[in-house]
Structure 1
Amino acid sequence: MSHRFNEKTINRETIFEGKVISLHVDEVELPNGKTSKREIVKHPGAVAVIPILDNGKIILVEQYRKALERTIVEIPAGKLEKGEEPENTARRELEEETGYQCETLEHLISFYTSPGFADEIIHLYLAKGLTKAEVPLAADEDEFVDLLEVSIEEAEELVRTKKIYDAKTAYAVLYLKLQKGL
């Protein structure tokens, strides 16, 4: 990996510290010796889960997203708690959002959501061998979701009609389409 494009942080000003994110403005020295400012969103990271039922259908959640001012359909997901391993977060989020537990959980890939201004990383998992939890973990008190069970073709239609409108879920649908053997 080339280091010739590295930017040295000269100064950091914290603008906001929230429950989920923080915002910093960094003054950086560029490779050519000049300086610039970078607005950086710090995020603890997240997981997303593709839950596959034995009949091949995908469990999705529909929820309102205030930042978009609309409801969208997504795969279950949530942020990492401090010190929590991504696999544990994935199992917890799956159960909290869907009421299901899984027999197998396979890590597929991890990716950055918006590296131009944020350090959020999402760890994507595939969950199989799903069973309804007898007493599922309680959902977050500020989270309201409806469950959908859809085929891969129905999920593709949800992408086309912009009901699935986020990158992690669109990626999941593409992954499943390419993996015909699921």
Structure 2
Amino acid sequence: MSHKTDKKFEEITLSTEPIFQGKIISLQVDTVQLPNGSTATREIVRHPGAVAVLALIGDKMLVVEQYRKPMEKSQVEIPAGKLDPGEHPQEAAARELAEETGYRSASLKLLSSFYTSPGFADELIHLYVADDLSQGEARPDEDEFLEVEAITLEQAQHYIREGRISDAKTIMAVYAWQIMKLGGTL
């Protein structure tokens, strides 16, 4: 979807300096021309994109608890993971749900796609809602150590207040779930 204002404040890239290329992210520094003609630098993290799943079983939501090294603490989050090259987001959502929780869904619907931190990163997360779940066996990645839990909306809100849930995608999913429970549409 294109808007007339898409280029209103466009910054034209004059040069790009690659800084780091990792397995998941890369970092570059761009020199840009600003709308007023002056120049500036922008540090940009490139990310392949990710998916997250609000998985509902009756009146509970599936979450996983795992250690998050950047924060140096364990976090409770909805199932999520990065997109593989060429992978459709809905396929990735089904894969991540099965890998992390063991559950499969007969119904995956896109709720929203959103940028996590557009001031410095291009990561786009596709948030799906899944219901009509059937249980299987979890198969997390070999470097993932996690615990699966099914929690109520009230527990999720309590975890947010405690800081056990503090990532944007999970907080967004909890609030979406709250709206759905109140009969609202997203």
Q: 2:116 corresponds to which residue?
A: 113
Given that 1:92 and 1:137 are in contact with CA atoms closer than 8 Å, whether structure 2 keeps it comes out as no
What are the Cα deviations for residues 33-79 of structure 1, in whole angstroms up to 9, with x where unaligned? 100000000000000001101x2211100000000000010000000
Q: Pick the structure with more helix per residue.
A: 2
Q: Distance in 2 between matches of 1:18 and 1:113?
A: 19
Aligned residue runs from structure 1 range 14-29, under 5 A: 14-29=18-33
Alignment of 1:175 onto 2:176: yes
List gaps (5 residues or longer) in structure 1: none
Q: Distance in 2 between matches of 1:90 and 1:12?
A: 32
Q: Distance in 1 between matches of 2:74 and 2:33?
A: 41
Output the TM-score relative to the length of structure 1. Answer: 0.96
Given that 1:42 and 1:119 are in contact with CA atoms closer than 8 Å, whether structure 2 keeps it comes out as yes
Q: How many matched pairs? A: 179
Q: Distance in 1 between matches of 2:8 and 2:75?
A: 41
| Amino acid in the other structure paired with 1:35 | T
SS at match of 1:83: coil
| Amino acid in the other structure paired with 2:22 | G
Candidates 56, 60, 68, aligned match of 2:59: 56
Moved over 3 A (4+): none
Candidates 38, 42, 45, aligned match of 1:38: 42
How much does 1:137 deviate?
6.0
The CA RMSD over aligned residues, in Å, is 1.2
Q: 1:92 corresponds to which residue?
A: 95
Output the TM-score relative to the length of structure 2. Answer: 0.94
How much does 1:138 deviate?
2.5
Given that 2:64 and 2:77 are in contact with CA atoms closer than 8 Å, whether structure 1 keeps it comes out as yes
List gaps (5 residues or longer) in structure 2: none
What are the Cα deviations for residues 2-55 of structure 1, in whole angstroms up to 9, with x where unaligned? 2231000000000000000000000000111100000000000000001101x2
| Amino acid in the other structure paired with 1:158 | Y
Given that 1:47 and 1:77 are in contact with CA atoms closer than 8 Å, whether structure 2 keeps it comes out as yes
Alignment of 1:75 onto 2:75: no
Given that 2:103 and 2:138 are in contact with CA atoms closer than 8 Å, whether structure 1 keeps it comes out as no
Q: Distance in 2 between matches of 1:139 and 1:132?
A: 15
What are the Cα deviations for residues 104-132 of structure 1, in whole angstroms up to 9, with x where unaligned? 11110000000000000000000101111
